[in-house]
Amino acid sequence: MLGYDAPRWHAILNDLPAALLVAAVLFDLAGAALKRESLAWAGVWTLWAGVLGGWAAVVAGKLAEASLEHGEAIHEIMEKHERIALMTMSLFTIVLIWKMARRFQLPAQELALTRALSVVGLLGLVWTGVLGGRLMFEHAAGIPTPALQAELQNRGAGHQHEPGEEHGAADTTKAAPHVDPPGTPPHKH
């Protein structure tokens, strides 16, 4: 759709819902701490948007799983990523449904419980992101093998910088020693 495959749609769809869910919990906690109903309602609306968007990201992730070239290492992390994402989204969905069923008029004990569940949901959200980051940055999940092979050849060929453009050089009068990322084949500059 629109020239994008499932892994790219998953990448597009997963950041905004995560940010909305974080904001929802923070608005809710701030509303409680500051006794501001407007912040509590901001939490409700961002929770709604985060839950809807989060499930869209989960669906895109499930579609991406079927289309990714992967070996055993990626598969294991992908399964954990999926499990944690499903548990996290289920938790936030339960909190939203609970609040809706009570018409957002929860007794103090239920408010405390839904807030605690939301904080647990944030931990799940972070762990889901950590696992997704491992898939992408440690295992190149979603990068087609031909593209990955071409990039490895490109990196192996080396590159040149203009004076003052050295990697990480804060002082342009003195070039910092060049350090290549781990796993880069030896090459000359």
For residues 21 and 32, give the distance between their C-alpha atoms in angstroms, rounded to a whole number: 17
Q: What is the pLDDT of residue 176?
A: 57
How confident is the model at residue 3, as a pLDDT? 57
pLDDT of residue 156: 84
Give the list of residues 6+ apart from residue 79 with CB closer than 8 angstroms, or none: none
Positions in the chain short of pLDDT 50: 171
What are the structure tokens assigned to 152, written together? Answer: 């490895």
Cα of 30 vs its chain's centroid, Å: 24
Residues 6+ positions from 169 with CB-CB distance below 8 Å: 175, 176
Domain positions in the chain are: 6-145
Rounded distance between C-alpha atoms, residue 186 and residue 143, angstroms: 23
Residue 14 near residue 63 (C-beta atoms within 8 A): no
pLDDT at 168: 59
20 neighbors 52 (Cβ within 8 angstroms): no
Q: Which amino acid is at 154?
A: N
Please name the fold of domain 6-145.
Answer: Four Helix Bundle (Hemerythrin (Met), subunit A) (1.20.120)
Using an 8 Å Cβ cutoff, are 46 and 27 in contact? yes
